[in-house]
Chains A and B, each alone.
Chain A
Amino acid sequence: MTSRLSRRTFLKTAVAGAAVVTTPVTLRAQAKTFKLGAVHPVTGPLAEPGQACRLGAQMAVEAVNAAGGIKSKGGVKLELVLGDTQTKTENGRVEAERVVTQGARMLMGSFDSGTTNGMVSVAQQRRVPFLVDIAAADQITANVAKSVAEGQQKVQYVYRNFPTGSSFGRKAVQYFGEIFAEAKVTPKRVVLMYCNDLFGQTQSRGFLAAYKAAKPAWTVLEDDVIAWPEPPSDLSTEVSRVKSLKPDVISPITRPASAQILLPEIRKQRLDILGIVGPGSPGFYEAGQIAILKDDVEYAMVSNPWANFKNPRTIQVAEEYKKRSNGKTFDTNSGYSYDAVHVIADVLERTASLDDPDAIVDAIKKTSFSSGLMQYAGPIHFNELGDNPNAVTTMTQILGQKPVAVWPREAALQKFVFPRPKA
């Protein structure tokens, strides 16, 4: 009896001992993480999109980790090192430096082109691969690619999965033409309006350049392009000027705050137009904007990077995002940051070494990723400039107080309404 009990005790002790000995090893393996610096404008005037980017990235990291982390590297988990630019251009560099010092081995960010440019120099100097999730200015990647091509720098560490400013313009002009042709109208007086900041200037220049190159049948009043200082306190004078031009279509490039002034002003001054069709900007599609603008934004169209809601996974993630963001739409900002983390996870799966930035860059160059949730023209890959040529925009329209993809046909969930019904 005593002997049997002793044997059992021995066995129990042995099993428990083995568990104690092996557990720390397992825990150590589980604790291994790959730090990813995610820098966005989480406070300041661009806090809204910045917070959307951050939440999108956090959700994606949770999804990657829940699915077993980086499996080819023993299940290494992703860990975000968060940075906030406070919407100040100079903080792009400062925050990138800080997160890299805290151990970030890759960077993502940062929504606006000014701060992203600041992050580029840190990525290149400290050899930290950087995937731009959102920022449209062409020069962000083009300048680095040029300096590498000219031999001033050895390796390009900066890549982007977002449409460039020039591709925004090209796509907008293409969609405008196709929609006008489909609606059997040829507007002769399209008035371009834009917020006079770096973003507005880049977008309007890209649109006008693409328009000039395309020479379409419809006409933009190129000598009467109207800009306003951003943020505006009043746009009544600007809209009066537009009204005097007797426009067929108003094509605005807004920020959320200016859209809240512009659209009600267009209604108040009773402009008789075929519709409002924007070449690409925020302000029209966000849940908060629609709640405030209500019927003023109904039928407004804008060409923006947009999530592919034909994909059931997008709908699933969008539902979760809605719950975690107090009812917000899974949109351009949250969506592209979400996809960026998954592209990074895919790169880390394929890289020869997590500790060698050049090996990570080699894996980035060989990317062909088809599981993105945004609308792409093909698999995500990076061209000689470091941009994804398949990152494209979609024309969305507010229909029934919801943003709906209406063009191109392969992305459309509903037929567009253009010209808009008379009030």
Chain B
Amino acid sequence: MAVGLTLIFGVMRVVNFAHGDMMVWGMYLAFVLATRAGLDPYLAFPVCAVALFALGVVVQRGLVDPIIEAPHEMQILLMLGVALVLENTALLIFGPEPARVRSPLARLAWEVGPLYVDVARLVTFAVAVVLTLALSLFLYRTDLGRLIRASADNHYGALVIGADVRRIYATAFGIGAACVGAAGALVSPILPFQPPTGLSLSVTSFNIVIIGGMGSLVGAFIGGLLVSVAESLGAVFLRPSLKELFSFSLLIVILLFRPAGLFGKRTP
């Protein structure tokens, strides 16, 4: 989830406030595939990724691209608008009830000595690791990946070497949306969702990405782990109702002492 957000910001400097709502659409797509076609979300996630890639490209080309040079506040307003449209379209189509996808895997739990292991979360974690590694390989080992990084580092430099920056931006936005589509499908058996869920997912993503460092894939991954561990420790050692206090306190500490995040680069 956070990897997609950080990629979009890293490449285009666009703060995607519709990120959580895109994830909710990934979840609903997994829900439709499971209920209509009997496809398990752990198998259907590539389909959701492809669908969200297409949505990402359309949003980027149709809406973001025309105002890519506009001030940040205009981009933020635009993405908030996209978020509202996505949320209310989901409300019209799927209704307001919380939904969750049923999967046999989500019912499994292993007891290893005193430890309890939720199999669905373990699988989701493993797939997230694999996807993050695959994305890193793509960005560092392929020509398109290098072009994306080049465009992120220096927009004009990329233009000078003949890169089709508009196409690269659309691809990067699409990949970011595909990440969140896959993430949505993978968590759909664990996390109940309804149209307004997008906002809280966006807030969690921003928290993770700011802690990890805006624009850093490794930062997004480590940030995700840190936030989860902080919340779990908060629930154990403090009170469960205060667990979010831990993760958002971590955010404040990071902003005070490392404003660019743990793995982010300071911009001049």
Contact = CB atoms under 8 A, between A and B. Distances in A.
A joins B in a complex: yes
Interface of A: 43-45, 47-48, 50-51, 87, 196, 226-229, 231, 233-234, 236-238, 240-241, 256-257, 260-261, 264, 267-270, 286, 288-289, 292, 294, 326
A240 B232 CA distance: 11
Contacts of A47: 91, 96, 194-196
Given A45-B196, A264-B107, A268-B118, A286 B241 contact: no
A240 B239 CA distance: 13
A43 B240 contact: no
Chain B interface: which size bin?
20 to 34
B111 to A, nearest CB: 8
B241 A196 contact: yes
Given A43-B91, A229-B243, A260 B196 contact: no
Given A229-B244, A237-B236, A269-B109, A256 B200 contact: no
B241 A260 contact: no
Nearest to B195: A47
A257 B192 contact: yes
Interface string B111-137: 100001010000000000000000000
Contacts of A48: 95-98, 194
Given A257-B192, A286-B97, A231 B197 contact: yes
A9 B245 CA distance: 88
A237 B235 contact: yes
25 contacts: A44-B196, A45-B194, A45-B196, A47-B194, A47-B195, A48-B98, A51-B96, A226-B241, A227-B241, A228-B241, A229-B243, A234-B191, A237-B236, A237-B240, A238-B235, A257-B98, A257-B192, A260-B100, A268-B107, A269-B109, A288-B97, A288-B99, A289-B97, A292-B100, A326-B95
A260 B106 CA distance: 12
B239 A227 contact: yes
Most chain B beta carbons < 10 A, residue from A226, A233, A294: A233
Contacts of A260: 98, 100, 192
A105 B225 CA distance: 55
Given A270-B111, A292-B98, 14 more contacts: A43-B96, A48-B98, A48-B194, A50-B96, A196-B241, A228-B241, A238-B240, A241-B235, A241-B236, A256-B192, A260-B98, A269-B116, A286-B97, A289-B98
Contacts of A270: 109, 111
Secondary structure at the A interface, as helix, strand, loop or mixed, is: helix
Nearest to A46: B96
Interface string B197-236: 1001000100000000000000000000000000110011
A292 B192 CA distance: 10
A38 to B, nearest CB: 17
B114 to A, nearest CB: 10
Contacts of A228: 240-241
A233 B232 contact: no
Contacts of B244: 229
A15 to B, nearest CB: 51
Interface in B173-191: 190-191
B85 to A, nearest CB: 13
B102 interface: yes
